[in-house]
Structures are given as structure tokens and as C-alpha cells.
Chains A and B, each alone.
Chain A
Amino acid sequence: MEARRYDELVVQKGCDMRETPLTSWHRQHQAKMMEFGGFLMPVEYDRGILAEHMSVREHLGAFDVSHMGEFEVSGADAARFLDYVVTNQPSALSVGQALYTPMCYENGGTVDDLLVYRLKSDRFMLVVNAGNIEKDWVWINRLADGWSAVTLKDRSEEIGLIALQGPDAESKLRPLTKADLASLPSYHAVPTTVAGLEGLVSRTGYTGEPGFELYVSQRDTVALWEHLLDQGALPVGLGARDTLRLEARLPLYEHELTAEITPLEAGLSPFIKWDKGDFVGKAALARQKANGLKRRSVGLRLEGGIARAGYDVVAERGAKPIGRVTSGTKSPTLGYPIALALIDTAFASVGTSLYVRIRGRDILATVVKTPFYRRSRAAAETS
């Protein structure tokens, strides 16, 4: 028996791995550890990915996501600068509000996808993918050349981040904080204390469930983690984080988004603001839009096998590929295999029958609506 892994969770031997404030905790609690984005991270704990996944769908899970990077962008021109750097419109945020946005190269390819928080009118926080911290830092600094009223600061080493996700998130967090969680809307954040620890409570997440992301000082991260577990949250590793985000059709950089994939192709056009003035990649994206997309990211449902990242998608058995799978798994919530695939737009309509080439066999795959899983409907079914 020999394992081949078809995802990002590959142990890179001989590479210097960074740690989060919780790495020792994970090790002490028998987590399976693997490299992700240059960090040594927990894939799963003793209950396993499926139990962790369902715990987030049904109750509450806590994720160590301290590997994510945080940049602070401040100064009189910070808002205008960020409007130029990303495709969405940070200048339109009110203080305490956040948005999701792609960040593009001039050719429209994606540098990263990130969250932007407006902390003060002239101060923003960018939350970037762990594996892209250095690349993004260099890129943003290059773009900031000539912007004298913009100051950049990499705060990744100071900030710890825990995601608390699941239908019980609000009721379990409420006793720990004075913040008025009930009046905190989605994609808003408030500076407050949690269990006496200073931080930022944000109503955001990457699971398709209600929940929060809690930014605290790295030195307080373990204490916060333990308080959240005391409230009944199950520790959840990156394995379940991946299956949860895939069911909710949330993109993962290096899979649905790369330097070769534009946000338009990835289905992220709601996060491109065409009317805000110039931004990096605008001309290329506008051209791609005008000419019509040649390929698009779609959801697939399979029956006889599990599609994995990199597998070919074909329109007829034995035919040449019309695209490839970018992420795939057997959906723990739905019980059948699901995948995202970047394919020729001619075959991208919902209901189209395609095939995924799995170990030389072409297995039927149907283009389906996404997200594969949506909270409201599942809640209605179980109640």
C-alpha cells in the first residue's frame, strides 16, 4: 500500500517548516501533522476528518489558522491604494466592515485571494494565504512604490488566528465576550476581548457555516484556544477545513485560483468592481470578459469514483480532455463525490454529462449547481 496524495497537504522533507503558537498543542494532542503553506499544521486529530467535518456542520469546531498572514495598510491614501491593488473595492467599506477579494496580476491571473478589513478610516488589515505571504508582501510593496501616503506593515508574526465555526458558534462565544454578537453582521468585525484576551472578533469563515474568526496576539492564542475548547468546540484540522470549504464552493488558492487562472474563470465576478477606477489587471479582465470566457470553474457530482485535483475531464468516453479537476473529495455531508473543475465553457451548463478520467477509466460526472451544500436548506431538512 502506497499513498499518493492529490492535494496540497504534502510533507516536504528537508524543508524548514514554520510553526504557529499552537503547533506544540497539536503535537501533544496527537494530531497528524503536515506541511501546508510552509507551516507545520494539523491535518486531523484523533476523531478523524469525517467526525471533525460533521461537528462543524452540526455543532461547533475550532481551527488553528494562525498560519494565515496579516498585513496592515495605513495612511491617507490607503483606501485609494487598495482599490488599485485588489479587484473588489475596500474604499467602500465602513469602519469595522470586511470584504473578500481576489488580487490580480496585470494579465488578470490571480496573485492571491484575501480578506480586507477596514479597522479605521485610514487603516486596513489584509489577511492572506499562508503559502503566499512572501509573494504577496513583495508584490504589494512593489505596487506601493511611489505612494508616499501609504505605509505597509507585515504583522503575520504577531497575530494568531482561530476560526470558531458551526451553528453553535454564537451561543458558545457569547459568554466569553462583551461584544454584542447579535448585532454584528456578516463580514463585520469588532475589537473586543474574548475570555479577557484582547482581539478582533470577525463574523467570517471558510466553512459554509455561521461562525467567527478571532484575531489575537500570538502569545494569547493558546489560552484563547483552550477557552474555546472548554466551551465545547471540537478541534478541527486542515483536512476537514478543505472538505467543508469545498462543499460550500469556496475557492482554495493553488487549486481554483492560480497565477494562470483569472477570477472571472473561477466564477468570482461579483468580487470585481469595474466602476471604481483603474486597478491591477482591469484591462486584461475586461478583455477576457468582452471576448467571452473560454473556460470556467464548475461543480461536478460523480457516482462511481472520487475525482481528485489534476484528473482530466472529458466530454465523451475516450476523448481528449476539455479541462481538469481542481479539487475533489467524497462529500462527508452529502455522501457522494463532488469536485470543482476548470473546463471549456461549451460544456459548462448545469446538467451536462461529462466524465472524469480516474486511473484510466472515464467515470460519469454531471455538472451541478453550486454551492454543493448550503446551510439553510440542510437545516430545514434536519429540523
Chain B
Amino acid sequence: MAQYPDHLHYTADHEWVSADGRVGITDYAQDSLGDVVFVELPEVGSIIRAGDTVGVIESVKSVSDLYSPASGRVLQVNSALIEKPELINQDPYGEGWIFELEDAELGDVMSAQEYRQKIEGE
């Protein structure tokens, strides 16, 4: 059963963002992708807007754009993913986080409950 922690915000594109600006992809997204083998991260210091394409996640069979769920400046990226992209599969809300925004301003996001309903409708 896929998990959607209540304290996170979610996008229709299957990203999550926490109150302190940390961003990743959801359990549903990592499961749909399958084994993640390559991640392209945004640049630290870059200013991004909610909805921007900020990176790429590749599984064995597919290439996916990563959209930012919020606006802000990229404070840090999870460089552990360069060597261990599988962290996204293993721990999508923890060790598999992707980047962190400073003064994040949320874009069009939904609650865990709304997101779960959307997924179950798909």
C-alpha cells in the first residue's frame, strides 16, 4: 500500500513538498517509474518557479521531467542520489528527497487526502 504522509503537500504531477521546502516524488510516482537509475538535479542557488521543469528522473525504461511544486531559491540538492538514485525507490519521503528550497512559496498543491483520492481515481 502506497503511503502519503499527512504533513506533506502534493501536486498533480506526483511531487511532494514539506513545510520547510524539501521536495521529492511520491510513493505512487516511484512505484510507477520502477527502478530509478539516474537523476538530474537542479543547480544550487538557482531561482525556480512552481511548475518549472527543474530536473529529470530516469528509470530503466523511462525518462521523466521533475516539476517544482513551489517557487524559491534552491538551497541544497540531495547529491547522494547521484551515486544512489535507488534511494528514491527505497525511501521517497526520507533519504530519497531531491532538493530543498529557501523561502518556498507553494504552487498549486493538495493535501494528502486529496492526493490519495486523485491517485485512486486514476
Instruction: Check: A43 CB closer than 8 A to any chain B CB.
Output: yes
Cβ–Cβ contact A9 & B65, under 8 A: no
A72-B13 Cα distance, complex, nearest whole Å: 49
**Shortest CB–CB separation between residue B62 and chain A, in angstroms?**
5
Indicate whether B58 reaches chain A with its CB closer than 8 angstroms. yes
Q: What is the bound-complex CA distance between A50 and B35, given in angstroms?
A: 7
* Bound CA span A380–B60, Å: 27
Cα distance A329–B61 when bound, in Å? 8
- Distance in Å from the Cβ of B43 to the closest Cβ of chain A? 13
Name A3's contact: one of B63, B67, B89 (CB within 8 Å): B63
Q: Which of B1-9, B25-33, B70-78, B105-113 contacts A (4 or more CB under 8 A)?
A: B25-33
B116 interface residue, CB < 8 Å from A?
Answer: no
* Option from A4, A7, A9, A48 in Cβ contact (under 8 Å) with B64: A4
Produce 1/0 per residue, A140-158, CB < 8 A to B: 0000000000000000000
Chain A residue contacts of B61, Cβ below 8 A: 5, 7, 9, 43, 49, 239, 242
CA gap between A306 and B89 in the complex, in Å: 19
Residues of A within 8 A of B40 (CB): 305, 359
Q: Which residue of B lies closest to A7 (CB)?
A: B61
Q: Are B15 and A243 in contact (CB under 8 A)?
A: no
Q: What residues of chain A lie closer than 8 Å to B34, measured between beta carbons?
A: 32, 43-44, 48-49, 239
Interface size for A (C-beta < 8 A) is 25
Bound together, the chains give a CA A48 to CA B33 distance in angstroms of 10
- B101 within 8 A of partner (CB): no
Shortest Cβ distance from residue B11 to the other chain A in the assembled complex, whole angstroms: 8
Q: Is the interface of B mostly helix, strand, loop or mixed?
A: strand
A93 vs B62: C-alpha distance when bound (angstroms): 41
Sample 28 A-B pairs with CB under 8 A, ordered by A number: A1-B15, A1-B25, A1-B65, A2-B13, A2-B64, A2-B65, A3-B32, A3-B62, A3-B63, A4-B63, A5-B61, A9-B61, A32-B34, A43-B61, A44-B34, A48-B34, A49-B34, A49-B60, A50-B37, A239-B34, A239-B60, A305-B38, A306-B38, A329-B60, A330-B37, A330-B58, A332-B60, A359-B56
Assess whether B49 is interfacial by the CB under 8 Å rule: no
Q: In the complex, A48→B60 CA distance in Å? A: 10
Interface residues of B in 50-97 (CB under 8 A from A): 56-67, 89
Task: Kindly state the separation between the CA atoms of A99 and B67 in the bound complex, as whole angstroms.
Answer: 49
Complex Cα spacing A35 to B63, Å = 18
Alpha-carbon separation in the docked complex, A337 to B38 (Å):
10
- Find out whether the CB atom of B62 lies under 8 angstroms from the CB atom of A6: yes
Nearest opposing residue in chain A for B57, CB measure: A1
Neighbouring B residues of A5 by C-beta, 8 Å: 61-63
* Cβ contact within 8 Å between B60 and A243: yes
Instruction: Give the CA-CA distance A216 to B74 in the complex, in Å.
Output: 58
Query: A308 near B: Cβ within 8 Å?
Result: yes
A51 CB, min distance to chain B CBs, angstroms: 8
Partner of B63, one of A6, A9, A49, A332: A6
Report Cα–Cα, A6/B61, bound state, in Å: 8
Residues A315-348 near B (CB distance < 8 A): 329-330, 332, 337
A330 touches B13 (CB 8 A): no
Option from A1, A2, A4, A330 in Cβ contact (under 8 Å) with B60: A330
| Contacting residues, chain A, for B29 (C-beta < 8 A) | 1
Name A41-87 residues within 8 Å CB distance of B: 43-44, 48-50
A6 CB contacts on chain B under 8 angstroms: 62-63
Distance of A81 from chain B, by nearest CB (Å) = 39
Q: Nearest residue in B to A32 (C-beta to C-beta)?
A: B34
Chain B residues whose CB sits within 8 angstroms of the CB of A3 once the complex forms: 32-33, 62-64
Q: List 5 other contacts, CB 8 Å, given A48-B34, A49-B60, A305-B40.
A: A1-B65, A2-B13, A2-B67, A3-B63, A4-B62
Name, among A32, A243, A306, the residue most crowded by chain B CB atoms within 10 Å (CB to CB). A306
Partner of A1, one of B13, B38, B89: B13
- Rounded to whole Å, the gap between the CB of B31 and the closest CB of chain A is 9
Q: In the complex the two chains form, what is the Cα distance from A324 to B14 in whole Å?
A: 32
Pairwise interchain contact B37-A306, C-beta atoms closer than 8 A: yes
Do the beta carbons of A1 and B67 come within 8 Å of each other? yes
